[in-house]
Every structure is written in structure tokens, then in C-alpha cells.
A and B are shown apart, each in its own frame.
Chain A
């Protein structure tokens, strides 16, 4: 989860998020170079003694400042498009879960092998244990096996919501009447938090998402426990 006043990206917990961080580094360098160039241009212009009142055009400089930004855009766009298509890739998912947005909670369905369905409500302030994150903890977490390709089908039951987990590089709108597909793969065990990212009413800020990535044996035990409870 993010620390207070955090500005940078969260640590990656999936291969796609790792690639997003690397792309962010690449674009950040291009932006730093452009900023250096702009500051230098400002310095040169301010310190210049030359004034020419009748300057109307400069064909060479106009060509230069058209071609160079076009090249910069290509340098940024090529890895960007590669990453965009990578986020859409679904590598033979071993598990499919459904995430349905409601006002104002998420419900999840694991219907591949058994029928496991549960709702995930935010824990109110009074029910939090010591060390729990305010506005982020839920009563029932999404438990997933680590290093497993998972397909998440996202939809909504009433208004548009958005299922987001920043550590995994996931964000998908939950639109009523539509099934959106997400590819998810947790590369390490841990607990990953997210919050609804589409304004959906009074309690839009109070319907978090919590994914708990666990080893496969633990996941199997959790499935057995959920089936026993039902």
C-alpha cells in the first residue's frame, strides 16, 4: 500500500507493473532532457543582447523544432504501444474470477471448479485491528495463488465502478451490462490494496479492493474453508 504523501509508483508485484515502471523511467529521462533544454533556451534568450524588430520567420529553426519533437514522440510511443499490447495479453489463464461492483462494495465469484461467492465490504473504523489500514481493509479478501495466470472479469450491478490495484498495474472499469477482462499474475506473495476508481455515489471512497496472493496449497485450503462456510 502507499505510504502517506507518497509521490512515486508503488513497488511492482506483477510482471506488467514492472514493465510499467521501466517505461515510466524511460519517459522520465526524456522529460528531464526536454526540461533541461527548455531551461537552457530560456537562459540563452534572457541573456541575449540581440534584438531584431523585423523578424518574421526562420525556416531552418521551424523545421528543427518540428522534426525533433516528432522523433521524441516516436521514441516514447514505440515502447508505450508495446506495453499497451502487453497489458492485453492473456497467457492461458488457470483461474477465472468475476468481480462485480455494487454500491458500495465488491462481490467476487470463483466458479471455475466450485461455486464460491462472497461480498467484500470495507471494515469500518471501529472494527479495525491494531496496524490495519484505515479505509483499505475489507472483511473478505480476494485470495489468489501466486505465480498463476488469472483472468478477472469485471462488471457492475448498478453504476460504473472501477476495479484498481496499483501494485499489480491493474485498472478496469466495471460497467453494468458489460464484461471487461483483465489479466492478472502476482509474482510474489503479499497483500495488495486498491480502491474504486470511478465516482459511484456517496461511498465511492469506501469500497476498497484487497488481493491476498498466497502459495497454491494455502489457496486450496482457503477454497475448502470457503466451501465449508457455505
Chain B
């Protein structure tokens, strides 16, 4: 009996296999380092600079993750619609309903 999936779980698996995760953490680490260093240059306060580093890291991760996942969800929906449209086209090819659909689509495109 073949298993459905490999027995992998953990941070490495999450970052490697989850869409947008790797880039989110990379940008987060970079943004955190930049934010923390900039704050240190501005205030020369190491303690608060670490706070700024953490805040920048969190904000950068979220600011990349949310739009990336939203765009990924939109692409997923479009892909499903395309797949469904192709299946419907294949099933109805050669039938009177297909001609009706094609003429309705042409009328829609013209308007």
C-alpha cells in the first residue's frame, strides 16, 4: 500500500514546501537586519535596536506573506476555472449546447 505522503514535518519542511514561506523568511531576515541596523545608527542604543530588529522582521514577514498568499490564491482559483472550462469544452464538444455557448460567448466578447 503506497503511502500518501512522506513522513516529513517541521520547520525545514514548512519553509521548503510551503508557497511564499521561504521568500517571506528571507525578506524578513533581511528587513529585520536592515531595520535594526538603521535604528542603531540613528539612536546608538543596542538594546532598542534589537527590539527594532524583531519588529522589522515580523512586519516584513507579514507584509510579504499576506499579499503573496492572496496572489497565490487568486492564481489557484483561475487555474481551477481554466481546468473546469477545458473539461466542459471537451465534454460538450460537438453538441448543440456547445454551439449555443460559443455564440453566447462571442456576443459577450463583442459587447
Contacts and interface: CB of A to CB of B under 8 A. Distances in A.
Interface of A: 1-8, 10-11, 15, 18, 22, 25-26, 28-29, 32-33, 36-37, 40, 44, 75, 131-133, 147, 167
A10 B87 contact: no
A8 to B, nearest CB: 4
Nearest to A29: B65
Contacts of B24: 29
B7 interface: yes
Given A22-B73, A32-B11, 8 more contacts: A1-B4, A3-B4, A25-B14, A25-B69, A26-B69, A40-B54, A44-B50, A131-B1
A33 B62 contact: yes
B13 interface: yes
Interface residues on B, range: 20 to 34
Q: Give 9 nearest A-B pairs by CB, closest first.
A: A7-B9, A8-B9, A3-B3, A11-B4, A11-B5, A25-B18, A3-B7, A10-B4, A6-B7
Chief secondary structure at chain B's binding surface: helix
A36 B24 CA distance: 15
B8 to A, nearest CB: 7
Interface of B: 1, 3-9, 11, 13-14, 18-19, 21, 24, 50-51, 54, 57-58, 61-62, 65-66, 69, 72-73, 76, 80, 87
Most buried by A among B1, B8, B76: B1
B21 A25 contact: yes
Contacts of A44: 50-51
A1 B1 contact: yes
A29 B61 CA distance: 9
14 contacts: A3-B5, A3-B6, A3-B7, A6-B5, A6-B7, A8-B7, A10-B5, A25-B19, A25-B69, A26-B65, A29-B18, A32-B14, A40-B54, A44-B50
Contacts of B7: 3-8
Nearest to A82: B73
